[in-house]
Amino acid sequence: MDIDPQALEQRITDLEIKASFAEDVVEQLNAVVVRQQAQIDRLVRELVELRDRAAAAEPGAPRSLRDELPPHY
């Protein structure tokens, strides 16, 4: 079986190009994951703060007039 050196070189080049694109995609996805994790962390902090505020409020006392609006508003 003869292997054409030019064809082999072309296949290697094609694989290197594909690997380069794959590396770029992985880097982009990693940036998205990092950004989403930061957003999740911020939202968790806000949720904890809201829970703390709700727990500190007097039980049974309305927090604002908007809290007293019926659900259909």
Query: Please, which residues have CB within 8 angstroms of residue 57's CB and are 6 or more apart in sequence?
Result: 63
Of the candidates 25, 6, 28, the one whose C-alpha atom is nearest the C-alpha of residue 17 is: 25
Per-block average pLDDT, block size 10, for the chain (73 residues)? Answer: 88 98 98 98 96 81 64 66
State pLDDT tens for residues 25-43. Answer: 999 999 999 999 999 999 9
